[in-house]
Every structure is written in structure tokens, then in C-alpha cells.
Amino acid sequence: MTDAKPLNILFLCTHNSARSILAEALLNHMGQGLFKAYSAGSSPKDNQKPNPMAIATLERAGISTAGLSSKSWDVFATPDAPHMDLVITVCDNAAGEVCPYWPGQPASAHWGYADPSETVGTYEQKLEAFKQTLLQIKKRLDIFTSLPSTSLGKMALENTARELAKK
């Protein structure tokens, strides 16, 4: 796959402020040019920004936060949007919503994670919840990014991504 264009992966969550932001940044960090990750939300709030604890967690892990922003999934449903190869929902709310039509009809999967921004406790306890979510995402992405290129065709990609949801 060294000469191939990177696979475009879109991570979706409701507000695009925590889990999808963590997944986007982490896959771009791990992807070694084989993957290009994006994130979006089904209904980000007006003036939504990435959760400061998500940003702090990524920075503590040495992962770049440059260019991260909260945005609507509508951005990726336009004809001039980057073509997605795989769309992964990372929260149960977004998984149950009717998604827009994605140009190119990408493969899809659901990887559910608890929302770390709903953690109650001290600042350090909340930060630990974000760290644990990042580690859970990393566990799946470690496997995903090490797959042979034969596992990354459209049907194989969808089946593989859905199998990873069980891990």
C-alpha cells in the first residue's frame, strides 16, 4: 500500500467534541500516511469546540492537536468533500441516527465508547476517563493499522471494522 492513496476514515459522534476528536487525532498520529482521519458530529452545538480535556489528553500523549475542530457531518456529505472509505460511529447516539448520503457509499462500522465528558468527579478523575477512552480507541486502531492491504478493500474493510467492534 505504500504507493496507494491513503484510506479516508471518518469518525462520527453527536457533538464531535470528545470521542471522535480523540479517534481522528490518534489515527492520524498512528496511520503513517496509510490513513487520513477526519471527524464530525451529527448535531454539534453552536460554536462547538473540541472538549478541553480531549485536547489535554492528546497533548499529554504526545499527539498533535493541530487542525482539530468540531464540525457537522454535513461537511462530508457534499460532492466536493473528501471521499470516505470508511465511516465509524463512536457513540451510540450517532450510531442510531439516520446518516446523510455519503458520496461513494463508504463501508461503515460502529465502535461504541462511553462518553468520558459525562464522568463525574475531580479534574484528575475526568482526565483519567479521557485517557482510558483514548487507550480503548488505541487498542482497536493498533489492530486496524497493522492489517494487510488485502483486508482494506471495501467489503473486507467493513467486515474487519465491524469485527474490531467486538474487541
151: domain CATH number is 3.40.50.2300
Is 62 known to be catalytic?
A: no
- Choosing from 9, 10, 12, 13, which is the catalytic residue? 13
Respond yes or no: is residue 13 known to be catalytic. yes
Instruction: For residue 53, report the phi and psi dihedrals to the nearest 5 degrees.
Output: -75, -30
> Cell digits for 89?
460511529
Phi-psi sector, 139: left (phi>0), alpha (psi -120 to 50), beta: alpha
Q: What is the pTM of this model?
A: 0.88
Q: Does residue 69 sit within a domain? A: yes
Residue 55 belongs to some domain of the structure = yes
Residue 1, domain member (yes or no): no
Q: Give me the catalytic one of 10, 18, 88, 91.
A: 91
**Residue 62: inside a domain, yes or no?**
yes
Containing domain of residue 122, as a range? 7-164
Number of domains into which the chain is organized: 1
| Residue 21 domain-assigned (yes or no) | yes
Looking at residue 29, its pLDDT comes to 96
Q: What is the pLDDT of residues 36-86, one digit of tens each?
A: 999 999 888 878 899 999 999 999 999 999 999 999 988 888 888 898 999
Q: Is 2 within the bounds of a domain?
A: no
Is 157 designated active site?
no
Residue 22 lies in a domain: yes
Q: What is the pLDDT of residue 103?
A: 67
